[in-house]
Amino acid sequence: MKSTPNGLRKLVVSLMIPMMVTSGVATLPELALAKAGTGSTEVDNYRTPLKQPEYQHRTKQDKRDIPVQVLGINDLHGGLSTTGTAYIGSHQYQNTGTVGRLAAYLDQAQNQFKRVHHSKNTFRVEAGDMVGAAPADSSLLAHESTMHALRGMKFQIGTLGNHEFDRGLPEFNRILHGKKAGAGADALVQHYPNEPTNMKIVVANVVKKSTNKAPYGYKPYLIRKVKAHGKTAKIGFIGLELGSLSDIPPAKNVKDYKILDEAESIAKYDRILNKKGVKAVVVMAHTAVQTRFGETAGPTVDILHKLNKLDPKNNVGLYVAAHSHQYANGMVGKTRVVQALSSGKAYDDAQGYVSPKTGKFVGLKAHVYPVLSAKDDAKVKTNAKVAAIAKDADKRVGPKVNVVIGKTAGGQSITKSTTKSLENAIGETVVDGQLYEANKPGGLKADFAMTNNGGVRSDLIPNAQGQITWGAAMAVQPFGDVLQVVEMTGQQIQDALNQQYYNPAFFMQVAGLKYTYTNTPGGKQHAKVLKMTKTDGTPIDLATKYRVVISDYIHTGGDRFYAFKNTPTLGSLGTDSDVFVQYIKDMATANQPLTAPKPDRKIYQATGTTLTLPTSAAPVAVK
């Protein structure tokens, strides 16, 4: 693993601590901010493009150049009805989201552009993770409801994210093209109407190992003509998957594909496009970035720096980023980079011109805007057609989603708000449940349970009566990963915990154990484990073998937790979703409402202090 520079490490940790989740899908995905490239930033102060000064009027350029608009989203994650807080620049907007509102704002932006510039040169694009890690109104319908919403919102071009591989790329391709589900599909899926999205998928750096070509006939790029006042030009759209894809979905779903270098792939196809007379290029890429404290940083910035070295004359004018679920709007060299949060809470609107003489972008601007609620912006009417898709999906899954399975203490939500030591209440509730279910009479028996932060996707939010519904539980654990009990030595457990501290974007929630850690300035990892004990204080011996509940995802090294790979499997508990639901039911039967655990499982020990060990050992100075 690569170490994370100190400045970016602070950035990553700072964005993880709030977790910015109010409902639906969490804002922190399984990202990897590996290097510390930076770019300049743009300020987004306006709630809608109707207020944006430079978007209000025609200019002299309208007479000589061709006006174009690119409307983009990323990481929708099946968020048909998801709402939450949108943090855009220094502004905070409450209750943003839902596809009905998103559709309305896309329509508003496009209509404004058409009115001002008398142009129909608008393209709607998305940058991956359309589906996966989604609420029940998408996941229970095999995400076909989300495909219907994307069709209703008239998205034309998209690329692949890591979650398009969750159920295997063949399944994603099925729903993309509106094909019937297999005979073994759930009745909800069997009865859902099939419609193609009419979206073209472009991906330049995913190829099948057997053919060295993109799967399912996907193209690395598309060319589209634009025209105005009798003049024409071309725009190229390149799609890009994140380079670390192989570390994220289930291994069986990516084993047949090669993931090529991002910058090298852009450079290759930019040159091809250039030879075809295309000198205005848009990249839609499922690669992470964030604008924060006056800097734009993350892998996207590093990719563009590398691209500019490989191909200094490249024509990439706009880069629509994704994966980290953060706000971004900045310049990296000559390229505008944007990212619009996640789950339909925001969108980006890029406007500018293509010169018919040079074929290049000129005067390209981009801004990110919130998807405001009807209460906060009553003048924008919700798109009834798209809202009806979400309403229909809710109705179809309602009988299952609304079944009450338990309750929380005092009707309180159990949240993903994360401490400085990277503990959060809902994550620890999940692993507490896994350990409890493993140790029920007749169970597999386990000493500990551990899960990656990316496997826990939402707060646990009870209904108005303080009851936990099946849908609320499924929003927390939507993947259906298989839980396994594996055998690990104490040393392997310590190695897994230490792997959190190579890249703080990936961390563990633990049950049945506690540990003390300290920082390691200048080392390959920014912290290390000093001491591990069971919950009752019994030391964990490095040579002793223990039984640990983990998901099949991290058992294959997912999220770069390689210490779990090849550990012997002793049995399976079932899917994480089913186990969590059963745990809530068991607590209800025992009349024990769920309560947020106390965050005392990861204890920080400052460098230069004395660590107290068990009485059989002498105190040790922490260096």
In contact, 265 and 271? CB cutoff 8 Å: no
Give the residue numbers spanning the domain of 608: 404-621
Which is more confident, 484 or 622?
484
Measured CA to CA, the distance from residue 226 to residue 500 in angstroms comes to 48
**Site of tokens 């000064």:** 53
Residues 226 and 306 in one domain: yes
DSSP 99-149: HHHHHHHHHHHHHHHHHHH----EEEEE-S-SSSS--HHHHTTTTHHHHHH
In contact, 470 and 406? CB cutoff 8 Å: no
Residue 280 lies in a domain: yes
How many structural domains are present in the chain? 2
Instruction: Kindly tell me if the per-residue pLDDT of 443 is higher than 90.
Output: no
Percentage of residues of the chain with pLDDT beyond 90:
78
Residue 348 lies in a domain: yes
Q: Output the six-digit token pair for 11.
A: 């950035």
In contact, 386 and 103? CB cutoff 8 Å: yes
Residues 155 and 263 in one domain: yes
pLDDT, tens digit (0-9, with 9 covering 90-100), for 546-600:
999 999 889 988 888 999 998 999 988 988 999 999 999 999 999 999 999 999 9
Among 372, 392, 412, the domain boundary falls at 392
Measured CA to CA, the distance from residue 358 to residue 277 in angstroms comes to 10
Residue 5 lies in a domain: no
Report if pTM > 0.85: no
Among 326, 357, 392, the domain boundary falls at 392
What pLDDT, on a 0 to 100 scale, did the predictor assign at position 609? Answer: 56
pLDDT, tens digit (0-9, with 9 covering 90-100), for 125-134:
999 999 988 8
Among 343, 365, 392, the domain boundary falls at 392
Which is more confident, 90 or 231?
231
Residue 8 lies in a domain: no
Residue 173's φ and ψ, nearest 5 degrees, are -65, -35
DSSP classification of residue 49: G
Residues 494 and 378 in one domain: no
Residues 381 and 463 in one domain: no
CB atoms inside a 10 Å sphere around CB 477: 26
Length of the chain: 623
Measured CA to CA, the distance from residue 371 to residue 347 in angstroms comes to 7
Residues 361 and 491 in one domain: no
In contact, 443 and 434? CB cutoff 8 Å: no
Residues 370 and 492 in one domain: no
Measured CA to CA, the distance from residue 469 to residue 474 in angstroms comes to 9
Q: What is the CATH classification number for the domain harbouring 572? A: 3.90.780.10
Residues 362 and 423 in one domain: no
Rg of the chain over Cα atoms, rounded to whole angstroms, equals: 25
Q: Output the six-digit token pair for 321.
A: 């980023």
Residues 372 and 435 in one domain: no
Instruction: Kindly tell me if the per-residue pLDDT of 6 is higher than 50.
Output: no
User: Which residue, among 271, 267, 362, has the nearest Cα to 308 in the 3D structure?
Assistant: 267
Q: Output the six-digit token pair for 556.
A: 């294959």
CB atoms inside a 10 Å sphere around CB 237: 27
User: Which residue, among 162, 444, 464, 110, has the nearest Cα to 288 in the 3D structure?
Assistant: 162
pLDDT, tens digit (0-9, with 9 covering 90-100), for 236-260:
999 999 998 887 787 789 999 999 9
Measured CA to CA, the distance from residue 436 to residue 10 in angstroms comes to 35
Q: Output the six-digit token pair for 388.
A: 């009806």
CB atoms inside a 10 Å sphere around CB 441: 4
Instruction: Label residue 423 by pLDDT band (50, 70, 90).
Output: very high
Instruction: Kindly tell me if the per-residue pLDDT of 356 is higher than 80.
Output: yes
User: Which residue, among 268, 153, 157, 148, has the nearest Cα to 207 in the 3D structure?
Assistant: 268
- Angle, to 10 degrees, between the axis of helix 144-152 and the axis of helix 99-117? 20
pLDDT, tens digit (0-9, with 9 covering 90-100), for 317-346:
999 999 988 899 999 999 999 999 999 999
Residues 388 and 408 in one domain: no
User: Which residue, among 158, 153, 150, has the nearest Cα to 134 in the 3D structure?
Assistant: 150
User: Which residue, among 322, 144, 134, 161, has the nearest Cα to 254 in the 3D structure?
Assistant: 161
User: Which residue, among 111, 101, 11, has the nearest Cα to 69 in the 3D structure?
Assistant: 111
Residue 242 lies in a domain: yes
Give the pLDDT mean for 201-230. Answer: 97
Residue 478 lies in a domain: yes
What pLDDT, on a 0 to 100 scale, did the predictor assign at position 552? Answer: 86
Give the pLDDT mean for 15-29. Answer: 31
Give the pLDDT mean for 208-219. Answer: 97
Sheet strands side by side (includes 482-489): 508-511, 448-452, 545-551, 482-489, 569-575
Residues 322 and 356 in one domain: yes
Q: CB-based contacts of 107: which residues, under 8 Å, 6+ apart?
A: 383
User: Which residue, among 527, 557, 529, has the nearest Cα to 542 in the 3D structure?
Assistant: 529
For residue 455, the SS3 value is helix
What pLDDT, on a 0 to 100 scale, did the predictor assign at position 258? Answer: 97
In contact, 482 and 535? CB cutoff 8 Å: no
The beta strands (E) that lie in 231-326 are given as 231-240, 257-259, 281-285, 290-292, 295-297, 316-320
For residue 63, the SS3 value is helix
Instruction: Kindly tell me if the per-residue pLDDT of 88 is higher than 70.
Output: yes
Q: What is the CATH classification number for the domain harbouring 108? A: 3.60.21.10
Residues 173 and 272 in one domain: yes
User: Which residue, among 73, 162, 197, 164, has the nearest Cα to 126 in the 3D structure?
Assistant: 73
Indicate the residue type of 303. Answer: I
Q: Is the dihedral of CA 6, 8, 11, 13 positive or negative?
A: negative
For residue 62, the SS3 value is helix
First vs last C-alpha separation in the chain:
23
Residues 373 and 408 in one domain: no
Q: Output the six-digit token pair for 154.
A: 């008239």
Measured CA to CA, the distance from residue 529 to residue 514 in angstroms comes to 10
Measured CA to CA, the distance from residue 159 to residue 283 in angstroms comes to 10
What pLDDT, on a 0 to 100 scale, did the predictor assign at position 235? Answer: 98
In contact, 594 and 407? CB cutoff 8 Å: yes
CA 6 to chain centre: 23
| Angle made by CA atoms 347, 351, 353, in degrees to the nearest 5 | 155
Residue 536 lies in a domain: yes
Residue 455 lies in a domain: yes
| Angle made by CA atoms 485, 30, 336, in degrees to the nearest 5 | 170
Q: CB-based contacts of 493: which residues, under 8 Å, 6+ apart?
A: 448, 513, 532, 540, 546, 548, 563
CB atoms inside a 10 Å sphere around CB 90: 8
